A = this chain, B = another copy of it.
Amino acid sequence: MTKESKKDGGVNPRDEAKERLENFALKVLESVNQIEPPKISIPSRSTSNIVFDEKERYYTISGKTVTRTSANMRQVKKFAQTMCAADFCKDLIESKKTATLREMYYISEGWETGGFADQGRSDRIVEDLESTFGVKREDLGLLPEEDGASIFGDIVIDEGGMEVKATKVGRAGYTIPPTMSDVEFVECGADCVLAVETMGMYHRLIQEEAWKKFDALVVALKGQPARATRRFLKRANKELDLPVYLFTDGDPFGFHIAMVVISGSAQLAYINHELAVPEAQFIGVTASDIENYDLPTDKLRESDVQRLKQLLKDPRYSDDIWQSEIKKMLNLNKKAEQQAFSKYGLEYVVDKYLPEKLT
């Protein structure tokens, strides 16, 4: 089955981001013309303003905002830096360029306002722009240093005019670029996404031709997935209607990796509607799997135990299956990695485990 491409939201998200930045500048000009100090209203990202949306099943931010005004001596520098950052991003969009967050931090040394004391501060200004204007930093042209996911399977992608078929670029697969903004899905013959935690498992699934066997796009999350990876999963789910399966280690970090894909993180609550994939399904190693498959295990560390106890209270893990599996893992006092199935041979995970989990 071949699915038709849809663009990211229909319009180019970078054009939209530019328009919002320009509107901000116009408002500032308007204030100046009316001899009023310019100001900006920024959604609060404090803990008290972050709520778990039971209906949408991800963290989001509530209505509280904070005002940053040029009339306040303590805020005027930050206000000016916000404007400089917006101006820098507008230039990036117009020149069709991107910059790393680190590059922006160094570039800010040349701004009239002076630079930032550390990169944490310039990153927070970027978060201000994201949450205020409802745009992703990727669409502003700003990127982290992260490495994108690797993808193998029957999909053709267009990157600003260059068509790439993910099965024709070598065994290591197609690497998604740091920004997914100008990536279009041209054609997809896969029926699902099979996202795995480690590069080891990724190469195993390619070698055993799991992408053919399950008609899947095999995706390497590479541990905690980058934002571009999460955006890819979101778009594959929304635009290509592909179910997303998450195969992680059977330990607290594996559960966390899966849940960040499913429900987003509290830290990025202001942008989760673009990233979270609430329909994604966890097919990672559970405490029951440890028993049923008699897997090689490691003992839980004290930090694992603490983390699992936290998860029990986390609203994202409130359903019965998570609750009972987490409790069972605490009782067993054991965890297992996804590569542990190789105890039964290299092919076992593809021939036995995944077929059983996927039905």
Indicate how many identical chains form the complex.
2
| Chain A 174-204 interface residues, beta-carbon cutoff 8 Å to B | 174-178, 198-200, 203-204
* Per-position binary interface string of chain A over residues 141-172, scored 1 when its CB falls under 8 Å from any chain B CB and 0 otherwise: 00101111010000001011010100011111
Q: Are B172 and A175 in contact (CB under 8 A)?
A: yes
Q: Are B174 and A169 in contact (CB under 8 A)?
A: yes
Q: How far is the CB of A223 from chain B (nearest CB, A)?
A: 10
Contacts of A351 in B (CB 8 A): none
How distant is the Cα of A145 from the Cα of B199 in the complex, in angstroms? 6
How distant is the Cα of A163 from the Cα of B177 in the complex, in angstroms? 21
Further 12 A-B residue pairs, CB within 8 A, beyond A103-B204, A143-B200, A164-B169: A97-B346, A100-B204, A102-B200, A107-B345, A146-B199, A150-B175, A164-B168, A169-B174, A172-B175, A172-B176, A172-B177, A178-B199
Q: Are A145 and B107 in contact (CB under 8 A)?
A: no
Q: Are B169 and A170 in contact (CB under 8 A)?
A: yes
How distant is the Cα of A150 from the Cα of B207 in the complex, in angstroms? 21
How distant is the Cα of A357 from the Cα of B120 in the complex, in angstroms? 31
Interface-side segment among A31-39, A264-272, A335-343: A335-343
A98 in the interface (beta carbon within 8 A): yes
How distant is the Cα of A107 from the Cα of B339 in the complex, in angstroms? 10
Q: From A104, which residue of chain B is reached at the shortest CB distance? A: B342
How distant is the Cα of A171 from the Cα of B161 in the complex, in angstroms? 11
Contacts of A13 in B (CB 8 A): none
* Per-position binary interface string of chain A over residues 116-158, scored 1 when its CB falls under 8 Å from any chain B CB and 0 otherwise: 0000000000000000000000000001011110100000010
Assess A343 versus B106: contact at CB under 8 Å? Given A147-B222, A175-B172: yes
Q: Are B170 and A177 in contact (CB under 8 A)?
A: yes
Q: Are A342 and B106 in contact (CB under 8 A)?
A: yes
Q: Are A100 and B143 in contact (CB under 8 A)?
A: no
Q: Are B169 and A169 in contact (CB under 8 A)?
A: yes
Assess A145 versus B200: contact at CB under 8 Å? Given A106-B340, A339-B100: yes
How distant is the Cα of A168 from the Cα of B203 in the complex, in angstroms? 22
Contacts of A162 in B (CB 8 A): 168, 170-171
A241 in the interface (beta carbon within 8 A): no
How distant is the Cα of A118 from the Cα of B22 in the complex, in angstroms? 59
| Chain A 88-102 interface residues, beta-carbon cutoff 8 Å to B | 97-100, 102
Contacts of A168 in B (CB 8 A): 162, 164
Q: From A95, which residue of chain B is reached at the shortest CB distance? A: B346
A110 in the interface (beta carbon within 8 A): yes
Q: Are A159 and B171 in contact (CB under 8 A)?
A: yes
A296 in the interface (beta carbon within 8 A): yes
A250 in the interface (beta carbon within 8 A): no
